[in-house]
């Protein structure tokens, strides 16, 4: 069972180490961790995907709260969030295969960001499922390299009543 935690932290030196260190020390399983600036330059937001049951989640949350630089922890309800991942994939391709790959990319609303004689680089964002589907399709051509950011997520605004 995975949980997505959105954690606001004060942008102090070492804050990432503190959070990451806590996970390893307490033997919690982290699936992905993403950190970036927010609208407030003093605050960063971490999106942490944790694996574990409800009890583990409770301990993770409580232990995180004990870190002095952690401001707020929200477990994101998977039904009420927008979650995205970004992937960059370099696919091997011959000149003949190029248009087919571009077509696939189009279907996934992905961008071609680099063209070389024997490869293409594709940039895609989306949910985990979508990116996995894309990667799967491209695997046939031969993936030279790829990199993923890990999940980021935000709660949606209030629903219209």
Partner 1 sequence: MPKLNGGEIIVESLKQENVDVIFGYPGGAVINLYDALYNSGLKHYLGRHEQGVVHAADGYARSSGKVGVCIATSGPGGTNMVTGLANAFMDSVPLVAFTGQVSTSMLGKDSFQEADITGISLPITKHNFLVTDVEELAKTIKEAFFIAKTGRPGPVLIDLAKDVTQKEAEFNYPSKINLPGYRPSFEGHRLQVNKAAKAINEAKRPLLYVGGGAIISGAEKEIKELVERAKIPITTTLMALGIYPEDRELALEMLGMHGTQYANRATLETDLVIAIGARFDDRVTGKLDEFIAQADIIQIDIDPAEIGKNLDVEIPIVGDVKDVLQEILPFIEEKENGEWQDRIRELKEKYPLRYNDDDDSEVIKPQYLMEEIDKYTNGNSTIVTEVGQHQMWAAQYHKYKKPRQFISSGGLGTMGFGLPAAIGAQIGQPDEQIILIAGDGSIQMNIQELGTIQTYNVPVKIIIFNNKYLGMVRQWQEMFFEKRYSSTKIPAPDFVKMGEAYGIWSKRVEKKSELSGAIREAMELKGPAILDVHIPEEENVYPMVPAGAGLKDMIGG
Percent of the chain that is helix, strand, coil (3-state, to 5): 30, 45, 25
| Closer by beta carbon to partner 1, 18 or else 130 | 18
* C-alpha to C-alpha distance for 57 and 125, rounded to whole angstroms: 27
Binding of partner 1 by 9 (CB under 8 A): yes
Cβ partners under 8 Å of residue 146, min gap 6: 87, 88, 89, 90, 135
Binding of partner 1 by 62 (CB under 8 A): yes
The span of 11-19, 84-92, 107-115, 137-145 binding partner 1 (CB under 8 A) equals 11-19
In 37-145, alpha helices (H):
54-66, 98-107, 128-139
What tokens appear for 23 in the block?
Answer: 């996970």
* C-alpha to C-alpha distance for 60 and 120, rounded to whole angstroms: 41
Mark 23-52 with x for binding to partner 1 (rule: CB under 8 A) and - for no binding: --x---------------------------
| Closer by beta carbon to partner 1, 58 or else 140 | 58
Q: Which of 18, 83, 25 is nearest to 44 (CA)?
A: 18
Candidate residues 31, 34, 56, 71; the one interacting with partner 1 per rule CB under 8 A: 71
Candidate residues 37, 65, 78, 109; the one interacting with partner 1 per rule CB under 8 A: 65
The span of 15-23, 92-100, 123-131, 143-151 binding partner 1 (CB under 8 A) equals 15-23
Q: Which spans of this chain sit near partner 1 (rule: CB under 8 A)?
A: 9-10, 13-14, 17-18, 21-22, 25, 55, 58-59, 62-63, 65-71
């Amino acid at each position: 069972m995975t949980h997505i935690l959105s954690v606001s932290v004060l942008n102090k030196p070492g804050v990432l180490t503190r959070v990451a260190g806590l996970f390893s020390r307490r033997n919690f399983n982290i699936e992905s961790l993403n950190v970036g600036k927010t609208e407030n330059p003093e605050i960063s937001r971490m999106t942490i995907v944790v694996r574990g049951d409800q009890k583990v989640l409770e301990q993770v949350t409580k232990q995180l709260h004990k870190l002095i630089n952690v401001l707020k922890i929200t477990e994101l309800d998977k039904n009420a969030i927008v979650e995205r991942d970004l992937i960059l994939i370099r696919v091997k391709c011959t000149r003949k295969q190029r248009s087919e790959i571009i077509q696939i990319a189009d279907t996934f609303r992905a961008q071609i960001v680099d063209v070389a004689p024997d490869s293409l680089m594709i940039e895609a964002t989306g949910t985990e499922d979508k990116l996995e589907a894309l990667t799967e399709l491209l695997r046939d051509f031969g993936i030279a390299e790829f990199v993923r950011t890990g999940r980021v997520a935000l709660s949606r605004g209030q629903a219209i009543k």
